[in-house]
Structure formats: structure tokens, C-alpha cells
A and B are shown apart, each in its own frame.
Chain A
């Protein structure tokens, strides 16, 4: 067991992947000598060379599209998109090509491309650097979407994503890159299946589902609620597509109340999908409507007001109060 940050854990996970799989390679703008704008690929080009750690032209469609071609030739590319808001020039390749290649070829072709996207706000940055576009991709069949919230998951999920035969997008919570935690590099343990949710905290009065950057916020809210004598269960969703509804359903059947928290705007978001599914699966267990806590229906606001935009402990506690008032 060693302690490291999420950024370092992904770096180590990529290092392990490159060492184990000679057909894996990294692609992206600035990932070579610079080590990526967040230094996630720091030192890898020195160890594995420019054919394995490919500094690409500044072209997101080009990065994704050529990665698809490499995958068709038997390679396992891991693409880095510098920031969430820059993925859109590559959106066409992801949604019309990458997601559909396996299906349209009747399963004859697989494209095990991994796309790493640092996402979310809270770092005081400029526009297009703080968005949470996961729902736009989750709506597309053929993609898998995961998001780690701690270093241990980060270390293993990147490796599991590369091993997966389907395209996988990893949304990396950029404001948590410097979050430290224990990593067991010997065994993934309960993190063996990257598409399964984790119950991080047991509770009986309500369930809070969160993922990525909001997991520490949900845990802090649960701790605060405990001081008021409320027992809140916290689930780290980990996988956004597929969603582990079995774990969420089981929790709601126990607690009777569900709050879903994410940074992305609530309208059309993952929270709505969870609310609808849980209403269908556990209607008779629910003591209150499923309540969503998320961003507003606006472009991600300027940095000086982003604290008002981002769901925080108080917003989750307010939702908890509402759920308990039924």
C-alpha cells in the first residue's frame, strides 16, 4: 500500500499498462516532454519513447480518429483530451464512429480506444475548462464511461479501461488530481469491476449517489448530517455508463430516500436517468421523490461565481432536508 495523488495514480496506471502491453500507446497534445498540462503523463515519453507516447497535432478529431484506425490495426490507444470543453471537435468521431464500429461490423471489429478527459470545475479557470459533458456521451450506445474519485480507483480503472474491448471514456475529476489516498498496486480488491458502484458509507435514513469530484462533498455532507442524528448512505457511482442500478436500488430499498448529486446541469443529466430508473425499480420503497442536486441550466459560469454554481455540502443537506420532510 502506497500513498499518492490521483494524478500520480493515473500516471502509475499508465506506466503499468505501457509496460505490460506493447500494443498500448498514449496520444494527445502536450503529453510528451511536458507530461500533459496536468503532468499526468509525466516521464512516460522518456521511458517508452515517442512511438508509445505520441505528442499529436492540436486536433481532437484527429486524435480520436487516428486512434480508431490504430485500434482497427490491433493497438490499444489511450487518448488525452486536455480539457472537457475541448472534446467537442472530436465529438463526431466519438459518437458516429467509435461508438458504433463494433455494432455496424456485426461484432467483427473491436475498437478498444480509451479517452481520458479531465473534467469539472472548481479550479478557477476560464471558459471551456470546467464543464461536465458526461451525459452527452452516456446517451450514446456503444460507449462506456467511468470516473474515479480516489487514487486507488484511478490507478486500477485506467488499466481496466485499456483492457476493456469496448471504447471507454474516463472522466477524470481535475479538481481532485491532487487528492491523496492509499493505493494498493498489488491487487484491485473490490475495485476489480470498474463498472460497479461502491457503497462508501452505510446509512439508513437516505442515500446520496455521487461520482467523481462530488464524492468527497457527499461524504462530508453525510458526516455533517450525522451530527444532526441522520444516517446517510453514500454511494460512489464510479460508472456512468453502464450504471450499477442494482447497488443503487438495494440502497434505496433500505433507506427509502435518494439524492443524486453531480456537477453537470440537472436538466437532461445523469441524475434524471437515475431518478427515473429508481422510480420504476423501487417506487414502493420511496418515501420521497428522488431529488437531484446539480448545476444550473446555463453555460458553466465565470470562475468568480462558480462557487455559487457548484453543488456543495449545504446544497446536499438542503436536498436531504427536503427528502426527509415528506
Chain B
């Protein structure tokens, strides 16, 4: 109720009205300092820090970024169709977020380790995860689907924000590996690595995000927090998750926070490359907030028309990440009709491959589930498996023996 502590409590740190005024200003701060290089008009701007990173992108790199974004959008359309046809239990569409994912994923190095949430299909593409394998989880034949050790791309995590802590712990492991290598044999050193932790604006409200940032900052862990602010946590808008730009939160933890135009693949790539270098060089974590938009539903189970106006979607479609890069590539004569026709054909081929392979994904045997509960032998699992085998075998000899087997169970 406006009660102030005695001023003696604040000797040398008098209440700072200016700080309060600044805080108020921050509350209403728009994305004033958002990094953008490639505008919706297809024109490339400049930035005192990040243009140098953009300049490193070759013509081939730029065309590759476009091809990746087009491929993953085509994949998204195909997966949505598969869900509608009953081939997938659920789909989590990414359309609208291609630049945030392809730009950041392509900025990572093979030795970096990625902890995705459950929408990072574009990042998966950049890490060479087989997209048909990625559908295993959504088809209900696996809770994972790929071996993270093959690609340094971790399994999807469905419990919001849990993986941000795993990312920080993994980064703490990298720090220790570097010390162990330095102590033993400098010649055997691996290249410096960093970790990217993906999460969304909704997950930013979870306590684990806070704890992960405290740990990362305290230990200067080489981790890049990559928040895709796609504006909607299922049906709840971002302003219910936060009253300040999410990137501002980094200040409170004591590391850099950057808001980047998440629909600008060149800026996302540049900012992520800078952040990963910052982390790999031992300077600690960085938070990147990719300001983007989920054009479709959260998943195929919800209906955006019930919670947001279509005019909002239309406004964001005008900032489409693919359209603006296409404008730039054409405007600079970096790509022609043949290139875009080839991209489209490749996308259709990918979609056909995914559809074919998804259909052919074999249902697992529940014995695999028994086998993987524990790494080491476990008597309860062995006992229940033995019962299951006996019970199952009973059906082979007709109903009567099945009943006997069930009775003979423990």
C-alpha cells in the first residue's frame, strides 16, 4: 500500500525514480530494437553488428535457405493432410515459422547440440533428421523416432520448457569436456560446441525457463535460448504470458537478449551465428526472441477462428518469410524461374517420399517397450514380460488354453 522501508535501509542506494520511470517505459516498449535485415519488400537493410554475418552468406547459401524453407512448408502441408486422412494422430504445423527455424538451424555447426520443443520440424531438416522418421511420434509408433546421437538433434519434448534445463546441463557438460581435454591432451580437442534450447512464448511462463536461465547465467554455460514468439500459446495470446518483450528478460539474468524479425531468415541466421559464437567463445548464454507468427493452428486439434481474427493472420501473411526471400533472390538475379520450379518439384518429391514412408512405418511390438524401460535388467519388467508371453501364447491354442494361461499368471 505504498509503504516505504525506512530510508536507512537504502544507504547509498536511494530509491531511484529514474529506474522506475525506465521500467515503466519498458513496459510499453514496442519491438523498437528488433533486428531486421531483409524487409517484407525484399530489400536488404543494414545493421552495425549483424550485416557482417549476412555478408558471409554466399549465393548458394541464400538459395539453400529458400529451398529449405520451401521444403519444410511443403512437408508441413503434407503432414497436415496425413493427419486429416487419419494417418497421424496429431500434427503440429509450423507454417509461418520457417525463417526462424531454418535460419537458426542453418547457423548451427555439426558439433552443436539442439534441444527442440515439438514444432521444430524445420530445425530437424537442417540437422538432417529424416522427416519420415520425424513422423513416428505423430503416427503413434514411437515416443521419439530418431537417434539424437546421429544428428545432435534431441528428441521432441512435449512437457513445456523441460528441455531448456537439459540444454543448460548439456552445455555445462561441454564446459567440463573442454577442461578435461585441456588437462589431458590438447591435440585431441574437439571444436568448441554450444547448445541451442528452443521454446515458445507460452513456455516462457514455465518455471523451468527461469531456472534454466539462472543456471546458465551463473555458470556462463554455452547455451543459446531461442524463443520463437509465435504470438499464441494454443488460444492464449502473448500478452497474457508477458508484459514486456521476451528478449528483455535476458537483462534480468545478466546476458544479452536480442529480438529478431523471425520472418527474416537472413537476420535470424546472422543473429544466431553471432550468439553461437558468443557462447562457444566462453562468453555465456544469449537469449534470442524470434518475433514471428504461427499462421495455422497450434495443432490439428484446435481451431484458430475461435480465438483470433482472420485479419491478424492476413497481416502476418504479408510478412511471409518465403515471399520476401523470393523477392530478394529475384531482385538480385540470384535465382530464376528454373530455380523456383526445381524447388517446387523437389518439395513434391519430398512430400511423396514422406507420405509413402509414413504409410509403411511398422507398428512396434510391445516387447520393445518392455526392453527399454530400464538400461539394466529389472526383475519386475522380466516378470511382467514373462506373464505377457505366456498369456499371449495361450491364444495360439484357442480360447480355452488362453483362459488357463491367464489363471496361471501370477
Contact = CB atoms under 8 A, between A and B. Distances in A.
A107 B364 CA distance: 14
Contacts, number: 148
Contacts of B336: none
Interface stretch (A32-40, A56-64, A260-268, A291-299): A56-64
Interface string A63-78: 0111111111111010
B207 interface: yes
- Chain A CB count within 10 A is highest, among B113, B169, B180, B378, for B169
Interface string A101-122: 0111111111010000000000
Contact of B375 (A72, A102, A246): A102
A285 interface: no
Contacts of B179: 51
B236 interface: no
Given A65-B208, A92-B159, A109 B148 contact: yes
A165 interface: yes
Interface stretch (B271-279, B311-319, B366-374): B366-374
Contact residues of B: prevailing secondary structure: helix
A166 B410 CA distance: 26
B218 A73 contact: no
A108 B214 contact: no
B371 A107 contact: yes
B351 interface: no
Given A57-B218, A70-B173, A97 B166 contact: yes
A62 B221 CA distance: 14
B148 A108 contact: yes
B142 interface: yes
Nearest to A164: B376
A100 B155 CA distance: 12
B171 interface: yes
A62 B214 contact: yes
Contacts of A198: none
Contact of A69 (B142, B172, B218, B378): B172
Contacts of A103: 143, 369, 372-373
Given A109-B148, A141-B373, A72 B165 contact: no
A49 to B, nearest CB: 10
Interface residues of A, number: 53
Contact of A65 (B144, B211, B378): B211
Contacts of B147: 105-106, 108
B168 interface: yes
A69 B169 contact: yes
B130 interface: no
A280 B410 CA distance: 6
A325 interface: no
Contacts of B385: none
B143 A104 contact: yes
Nearest to B137: A104
B173 A73 contact: yes
B372 A107 contact: yes
B41 interface: no
B373 A102 contact: yes
Nearest to A72: B170
A68 B169 contact: yes
Interface string A7-38: 00000000000000011010000000000000
B148 A242 contact: no
Contacts of B159: 92, 96-97
Contacts of B373: 102-103, 141-142
Given A61-B165, A66-B172, A68-B169, A104 B180 contact: no
B204 to A, nearest CB: 15
Contact of B180 (A22, A61, A100): A22
Given A69-B169, A112-B375, A142-B373, 4 more contacts: A51-B179, A73-B177, A103-B369, A105-B372
